[in-house]
Structure 1
Amino acid sequence: MMKPKIELLAPGGDIDAIKAAIIAGADAVYCGLDTFNARNRAANISFDQLVGIIRLAHQYDCRIFLTLNIVILEQEFKTIFKLLNKLVNTTLDGVIVQDLGLLYVLRNYFPTLDIHASTQLTTHNAGQIPFLKALGASRVNLSRELNLREITALAKVGQEHDTLLEVFVHGSLCVAFSGLCYSTSASAGNSGNRGRCSQACREEYETTESGHNFPLNIKDNSAFFDLPALIDAGVYSFKVEGRIKGASYVHTVIDSFRKQIDGYVETGELTQDGERLYKVFNRDFTNAFLRGDLNQSMFIDNPRDNSKNHLVDKLKAEKGESISVVQIHDAKQQLQLDKQEINASVDEKIAHLSIDKIKLRLCFASEQGEPLRLTVTTEQSDSLVAGDEASTRTVTKCFSSTSLMRPSEELSVDKEAIEKRFKNINNANYELMELDTEQLTNGLSIPYREITTLKNALLAYLNHDVAVIAEVPLPKLEHSPKPAGQAIELSLLICDEEDVALADVTDGDIYFKLPDAYKRGCTKYVDFLLQNPRLIPWFPPVLIGKDFDVALNILQQVKPKLIVTNNTGIAYHAQQLGIKWLAGPFLNTTNSFALLALKQGFECGGAFISNEINRQQIKQIARPDNFKMLYSIYHPILLMASRQCFFQQSVGCEKPRIDNGCMLSCDKSTSIKNLKGDSFAIDKQKAGYPSIYNQDQFLNTDIIDDLGEMFDGFMIDLTNIGAGDRQSPDKVELIKLFDALLNGNREASVMLERLVPESTSLQYQNGL
């Protein structure tokens, strides 16, 4: 029987954590630089340290992946290109990416870098995998909310498209769909899509009706005992979360998983009990998403370390009521000692691991009638020899020119000429310790192009005999202006069938928001859209399993002339069916390269620009030719959407767990309030995911004057979703006021602010 190939992928928030992962047996480690990664709160590493880490890891047959997993702003691509030009000349094993524009740049300008799609891309259906494959991704990290049946189905799709799948198997869980959480972006610009998640889900709130103070806090994920099922499902990489965690945590978790995986592969049995996992930071564990059993036990009213609580619970289970206060105290003391011992043990294990630069010495020699000779000596610490800090490996290599040295008074290849060309060999991988030119004979020369050839040969040798890849300049993008004299169109988003009557009030586009979930074989929306051909279907961001199948069925049967989709799986199939499509605002589009990716790769006709970015950040975006730029100027502000229920922890629910009927029939709303007094609306529409909304509506009339010349259309959301108990403004009056505003009536702005008193445009002011 052939043993399955399983990758254990470890987090590395700082150098010690990365070393701990390597020594614990990780097959790969993902880590971030101090910019462009989704864990700004981690210590992270410098570029020089990255190169040293790659070198160290490769000694242990461990790969290194770099996280560039945030949305990228237009002005940052100059820096991004500089970084990528350096990365292509390292032996980095892959980059983890969220931004569609960065995917486009990597595929088109840096094809030697292996691309992995981040969990921030919210990949959860069969259309998204070929979409990401077309953008160059070789592997995809799936959404954490999926169950085994759904993962198995997607693994088959991955195999069909030669795409590897990663699944998170341990660590912190977001209660929200990753990439679709705007919880602190709306108030402070601290966006999870920029690595500045403020963890609103871990905050304390005023005690809810059901008696909880941390109603959004979910337990940590652990599939420690589900590894056989995941292997059978076809998962390639088991990914551990934890780039904010320290070396002792990383070592303990990775070592535990290494033993569990190896033991199962060798014996067909799970050999580890998992108790070591409770000795490092945890919020208790759940595998409920994986089992597809979404119940109240997934939540915990303790966002901090649960190690001591677990220990006490275990003692009580063993000893019953006879346990004493002294026994509990002694057990807690022992746990503290165990943690100290873990820290000391890990420190000792990684002490000999070095990421120091390789020491480099160059010695030049010349004689008349002989070639110019270069002797290269490299010296580096051997991290494979534990406990021997003095252990080094020294390698010598000689190079010679093809021409022989000849007398020349004018063009002497002397000390000055050599130092001028070779003193800058210092780089992230090598430290030039000595440049010896004492053996050069003055007054001799060879063609100077041969010195350049000698230098290139040296650089290739130092780059593992791979030719240095030439620098790729940042391409200049053409700004395609909006056609002169073209008026800005006002479009509407509706979700109630009776609102079709609003078509009589406006000539603009009317988008109809389709639900997140459907009854099996539902034909309701097919018939409705066929009867109302003016409506433009609007597909939501999350469509899992059968819900995606039904949404695709609607697309195939209706074959509308145009759709808006916030889901890339639907976008992929729209292109396949020859249906024109626009990218919705939840695709987090923030730069010109993302627009090019959508247009050139998938024949997209336009995109809603992200509401997370500000005036200056929007202004720099270059519109592709024959491409519409759109923006939502009035809508409820979604903070997060979840597959889990928010009502169990807030007002309580008679159902102990979510079932299929909950998604389709539950229609509730309530609110929670944090300790600062800010209130947030919890809203669950029929056939929609539980969601949390900001207390204020988004209302941005400034953009009309600021950047009106950039946009083809502005949209207003009239769905009333997230309004809670508030009385919604009259829809007809809203349409008329927005129409007046677009036609130059500035008084309409004042009237709109009166009509929508609880509103904000803070995201447009703050940006990312």
Structure 2
Amino acid sequence: MMKRKIELLSPGGDIDSIKTAILAGADAVYCGLSKFNARNRAANISFEDLQGIVRLAHKNSCKVFLTLNIIVLDSEIPALVKLLNRLVNTAIDGVIVQDLGVFHLLSKYFKGLNIHASTQLTTHNRGQIQFLRQLNAERVNLSRELAIHEIEALTAVAHANGVLTEVFVHGSYCISFSGLCYMSSVHGGNSGNRGRCSQPCREKYVKTAAGKEYPLNMKDNSAYFDLRELYDAGVDSLKIEGRIKEFEYVYRVVNAWRKQLHHFYEKNSLIDDNSELYKVFNRDFTNGFLKGEIHRDMFIDNPMSHSTQHFLNVNHYSSEDERKKGLAEYNDEKENLRAYIKNEIEQFDTAKLPLTIRISGKCGAPLKVSVETADTSFDVLSSVNLVDVGTEAIDRKMILKRLKAINDTEYFIRHMELDFDTALYLPFKELTSIKKRVLFILNGSREMIAPVNVPVLKKQKNPGKPALSVLISSPADVDICDDASIDVYFQLPNRFKKGNTGFIDLFKKHTKLIPWFPSVLIGDDYEAALEFLDELQPKRIVTNNTGIAFEAWKRGISWIAGPYLNSANSYSLRCLKESFNCSGAFLSNEISKEQRMSIKVPEDFKLYCSIFHPIELMTNRQCLFHQVTGCHKTKMDGSCVQQCEKYATITNLRNDTFVIRKTKGNYHQIYNAVNFLNTEIVTDQPTLYSGFFIDLRNIKTETKTELDKAGIIALFKSLLSANADAAQQLQNMIHPTINTPYKQGI
């Protein structure tokens, strides 16, 4: 029998699904409230529901993790703090977090809450785990794109740092690395980083050259037959995706996985039948990422459920009558199961527990508060005696006001009795003391934590005239470095391992170049990036990868947080500054003018903003050309990322065009057809930024420029110098463009 047990973690989009997860044998369930979670389309639960859910779950040896996994705006911080002040007095087992500002608040002011790092943080290298541990994360959800040997290596690092690992083992795959997808945000204002993804990737497109109408639609993830490898890799939690799925889905999948785990523990072998998983919503299954075999069969040209089609495929009915009869029996089975689940979960009570309070006493004697629940009763006496003179006599209204905090627990005051012969008085502080003692007993002899007042942040002084910075990616453009008035960043590739020497030579020759690190650096490529840092020893870098940020901090290298770290509030900037000595940050490209207005920059910290760039919509480890133009290879090999260089476009039925770009040494990326240009911000918010940024990499889109790069730079410098005509000249010389994200925000 296997000694180590792996947690089975289930989704819970509503109360029925949470109850069903418990019924099916989940060890833990993750669910969200109506705000601050990345599944706004789920029904979610109220705070009032939460207490009863936690009580029910714990009674059945099931943990509850609450999702707070979105990026947060400054205007929402007061409501978030109010929520955290309530959550810290619940018995929830952890909160799942994406935003670095939320990490900062939790690790600094709400230490009683266990922190789990969301999949939205795209954790795929050891430095990122160390970064998150520095922020007191006790668990990380690893990127879904990782192979089992990569998971094993990262789990070893996590365990060495006192961190647990979660791996998604079933459910929908995102085509993009999570947290790095902006397609839904740009096209409709529904940000995936806000839990509002409208899934434009799964829409129907004009048929591609490869004959596909759903070129970005991947099969679902299933590691059902890979349990042994996950166990041997040391993974702590197996996570099932599906908070917008119904309770029948939760039951089938959790129950199937529970049976697989039990079989593995008891018999050291696996069940070889996964037919139960096909009986609920699925797009067929693949384990390509986990196996490290990224191939064309990971796609399916249909985003709808494959469940019925699979049933028909495996039964091979010889006549239409047999087919109809089989389908009727299949649907009857589903309805019978739903009825069974409904009947079972009706027995699970998540309502708050009622209590009765009786208040009694006489002048010259202690006040007696008697509390009675269904399971127990107890008395609390005041430490001073009642008197017949005072400021405010004890009455029902006063007592209810003093004891209203009870209604924030898993209990509620159903009935209250007062037994006084005459008006009596007690000091307010004594009533407060009684309240605390009552709550202490109701809370399992744990002290209730007083609300935290998070200090109000102050704005720093005007940073002065903003400077211009430029991003390039071609050695042919390094002559831009000759302009001493601008900072020049050079984009480094995802595939670092085989290009190190050439880059080091380039940076040593052109010492003004500043390295710009990408969002994704996996395995050997991350290690090669660290070797690059050690050999080059740059004075300053920009990084979109928190693993590189961690190592820059440890090495004493000045570093700037790139725009794909999704910094969107003042506390995320505080987090970067106070925890990692970050010298500056780019704000997220998603947030609007109004959402930027309230941001308060830390002292000795520079804030940057992009005003011209091609709009990166997603980054993908999968090959997209299988579905678009076709490829002679059936799966990716070691040379694909390093050598492949291709370009294509796809167009959806609303006539939105997207650019698919693959360059040597980089993963596949999708760009908006039209670039972002925002000249307004220079006058809208002139005192917020230390620098404005333009991206002059050679990324082909429908946006055309009438000037060479030197001319473009000159025009942008003129814009920053308050030339009244520069904005219109830029609009004339660079077209077409949009600035939608700046207008609509998230």
- TM-score (ref. length: structure 2): 0.97
Deviation of 1:407 (Å)? 6.1
- Partner-residue secondary structure (3-state), 1:166: strand
1-side partners of 2:429 and 2:91: how far apart?
A: 28
Q: Contact 2:90 / 2:409 at 8 angstroms: preserved in 1?
A: no
- Partner-residue secondary structure (3-state), 1:732: helix
Q: Contact 2:675 / 2:703 at 8 angstroms: preserved in 1?
A: no
Structure 2 residue aligned with 1:504: 482
Deviation of 1:463 (Å)? 2.0
Structure 2 residue aligned with 1:757: 735
* 1:5 matches 2:35: no
Select 2:491's aligned residue among 513, 520, 536.
513
Select 1:335's aligned residue among 301, 307, 330.
330
Structure 2 residue aligned with 1:278: 278
Residue identity opposite 1:5 in structure 2: K
* 1:556 matches 2:534: yes
1-side partners of 2:226 and 2:467: how far apart?
A: 52
* 1:323 matches 2:308: no
* 1:95 matches 2:76: no
Query: How big is the alpha-carbon RMSD for the aligned residues of Structure 1 and Structure 2?
Result: 1.9
The answer to which of 359-368 and 144-153 deviates more is: 359-368
Deviation of 1:665 (Å)? 0.7
Deviation of 1:725 (Å)? 10
Structure 2 residue aligned with 1:695: 673
Select 2:561's aligned residue among 578, 583, 601.
583
* 1:400 matches 2:417: no
Question: Structure 1's 528 and 437: CA in aligned 2 closer, same or farther, altered over 3 A?
Answer: same
Structure 2 residue aligned with 1:669: 647
Residue identity opposite 1:363 in structure 2: R
1:160-559 to 2 correspondence within 5 Å? 160-271=160-271, 273-316=273-316, 323-367=318-362, 370-379=365-374, 394-405=375-386, 418=399, 421-422=402-403, 425-427=406-408, 429-438=410-419, 440-442=420-422, 449-483=429-463, 486-505=464-483, 507-520=485-498, 522-559=500-537
Q: How many residue pairs were aligned?
A: 746
Question: Structure 1's 329 and 503: CA in aligned 2 closer, same or farther, altered over 3 A?
Answer: same
Identify unmatched segments of 5+ residues in structure 1.
317-321, 380-393
- Partner-residue secondary structure (3-state), 2:715: helix
2-side partners of 1:49 and 1:315: how far apart?
A: 43
Q: Contact 1:693 / 1:722 at 8 angstroms: preserved in 2?
A: no
2-side partners of 1:471 and 1:725: how far apart?
A: 52
Question: Structure 1's 357 and 511: CA in aligned 2 closer, same or farther, altered over 3 A?
Answer: same
Deviation of 1:454 (Å)? 1.8
Residue identity opposite 1:465 in structure 2: S
2-side partners of 1:257 and 1:526: how far apart?
A: 49
Residue identity opposite 1:395 in structure 2: T
Q: Contact 2:202 / 2:216 at 8 angstroms: preserved in 1?
A: yes
The answer to which of 249-258 and 422-431 deviates more is: 422-431
Deviation of 1:677 (Å)? 1.1
1-side partners of 2:397 and 2:582: how far apart?
A: 57
- Partner-residue secondary structure (3-state), 2:699: coil
1-side partners of 2:615 and 2:396: how far apart?
A: 67
Question: Structure 1's 750 and 402: CA in aligned 2 closer, same or farther, altered over 3 A?
Answer: closer
Q: Contact 2:704 / 2:735 at 8 angstroms: preserved in 1?
A: no
* 1:574 matches 2:571: no
Deviation of 1:723 (Å)? 2.7
Structure 2 residue aligned with 1:644: 622
Q: Contact 1:406 / 1:446 at 8 angstroms: preserved in 2?
A: yes
Render the CA deviation track for 1:692-724: whole Å, top value 9, x for unaligned: 111110111110010122111111111122437
Render the CA deviation track for 1:716-759: whole Å, top value 9, x for unaligned: 11112243796785211111111111111121211211222121
Deviation of 1:679 (Å)? 1.0
Deviation of 1:418 (Å)? 4.3
Structure 1 residue aligned with 2:79: 79
2-side partners of 1:698 and 1:311: how far apart?
A: 47
The answer to which of 45-54 and 402-411 deviates more is: 402-411
2-side partners of 1:467 and 1:264: how far apart?
A: 41
Q: Contact 1:187 / 1:763 at 8 angstroms: preserved in 2?
A: no
- Partner-residue secondary structure (3-state), 1:143: coil
1-side partners of 2:675 and 2:499: how far apart?
A: 35
Q: Contact 1:189 / 1:767 at 8 angstroms: preserved in 2?
A: yes
Question: Structure 1's 421 and 566: CA in aligned 2 closer, same or farther, altered over 3 A?
Answer: closer
1-side partners of 2:59 and 2:538: how far apart?
A: 56
Structure 2 residue aligned with 1:122: 122
Residue identity opposite 2:444 in structure 1: H
Q: Contact 2:109 / 2:454 at 8 angstroms: preserved in 1?
A: no
Deviation of 1:448 (Å)? 5.2
Residue identity opposite 1:673 in structure 2: T
Residue identity opposite 2:219 in structure 1: K
2-side partners of 1:168 and 1:416: how far apart?
A: 51
Identify unmatched segments of 5+ residues in structure 2.
none
Deviation of 1:308 (Å)? 1.3
1-side partners of 2:65 and 2:527: how far apart?
A: 33
Residue identity opposite 2:344 in structure 1: K
Deviation of 1:259 (Å)? 1.1
Deviation of 1:450 (Å)? 3.3
- Partner-residue secondary structure (3-state), 2:225: coil
- Partner-residue secondary structure (3-state), 1:464: coil
Residue identity opposite 2:437 in structure 1: A
